[in-house]
Amino acid sequence: MNRTTESYIEIINLSKSFGSHKVLDNINLTVNRGEVVAIIGPSGSGKSTLLRCLNFLTRSESGEIKFQNRSWSLNSEGKRYKGKKYEKSLSELRSEVGMVFQNFNVFPHKTAVQNVELGLIKVRKMTKNSAREIAIKKLEQVGLGDKINQYPDKLSGGQKQRVAIARALALEPRVMLFDEVTSSLDPELVGGILEEIRRLANTGITMLVVTHEMGFAFQVAHRIVFMDSGKIVEVGTPDEIRNSQEPRTRAFLSAIL
């Protein structure tokens, strides 16, 4: 695999509260280019919130996020970015950070291929023809070559999730975020989607994967982050986490495995 030791994403002292409820409590994590990081932990521990902070769908109230040493939270004087211009510039970041959601969020009024080409046309400013060409190629890659003109209501959950993956990948992002992307799938469809992610992991793209599929996490991830109550309890290689002496990690793993 093409993992490097070049730090790519840096999360520094990140905190987020909803009202008085501290959902992320001083998170620090560095992810290297090409690394696959699995985030595990009990429900409500803040995994999704952490992922959403990375493309600023959720705004943290303190701390910093850097991509390739460029801070997306603080300006050169150390002040927090805000305002309309900043909002606009986030589009640039988001087009480099693909995200796939638990409940697919495919656009129901667009066909599979229209779902995939939208970003290419509107974000990458491609012509309709070249966007379509790429969109078809991406759909073929995820095994939907024969469904390009279907509307989502004619697709299975697994197929919708493939559309969502193709839609994110079409923009050739440098980072992919997966948030429990198999959790709303029928059991027989889970394997296929995990296979898709596994294949992607081998291409050297940087990935953060929130998952309840422990077997998958331990197989595919270079490192595993265990979260509980808004804190990172432990970070380690799959072996380190498997043999962890940390009581909370052990309790979680023994309950779930």
Partner 1 sequence: MGNSKSFFEFEAVVSSWDILLKGFAVAMFAATLATALAIILGLVVALMRLSTVAIYRWIAFAFTQFFRGVPLYVLLVWVYFGLAIAVNINLSAILAGVVTLALLNAGYLSETFRSGILAIDSGQIEAGLALGLSKQVVFKEIVLPQAFRIVIPPMGNQYVDAIKDSAILSIIGVPELMRESQQLANLYYQPFEFYTCAGLLYLIAVVLVSRGTNKLEKRFYTHSAQN
Ligand X SMILES: Nc1ncnc2c1ncn2[C@@H]1O[C@H](COP(=O)(O)OP(=O)(O)OP(=O)(O)O)[C@@H](O)[C@H]1O
Give the separation between CA 68 and CA 40, rounded to whole angstroms: 25
Please say which residue, 97 or 148, places its beta carbon nearer to ligand X.
97
CA–CA distances in Å: residue 205 to residues 173, 218, 222: 8, 18, 12
- Measured between its terminal Cα atoms, the distance across the chain in Å is 27
Give the residue, chosen from 113, 148, 164, 201, that forms a contact with partner 1 under the rule CB under 8 A: 164
Which candidate, 218, 180, 219, 222, places its Cα nearest to that of 205? 222
The DSSP element (H or E) to which 247 belongs, if any, is helix 247-256
Nearer to partner 1, 166 or 224 (CB): 166
Least distance to Mg ion, CB of residue 44, Å: 8
Query: Hey, which residues between 185 and 244 contact partner 1 (CB under 8 A)?
Result: none
Contact flags string 18-47 toward ligand X, x per CB under 6 A: x----x-----------------x-xxxxx
Q: With binding defined as CB under 8 A, does residue 55 bind partner 1? A: yes
Please identify which residue in the block is written with the tokens 């559309």.
163
- Report if residue 182 touches Mg ion, rule: CB under 5 A: no
Helices (H), 95-206: 112-122, 128-141, 157-169, 187-201
Comparing CB distances to ligand X, the nearer of 34 and 178 is: 178
| Interface with partner 1 (CB under 8 A) | 55, 57, 87-88, 91-99, 101, 103-109, 111, 118-119, 122-123, 151-154, 160, 164, 167-168, 171
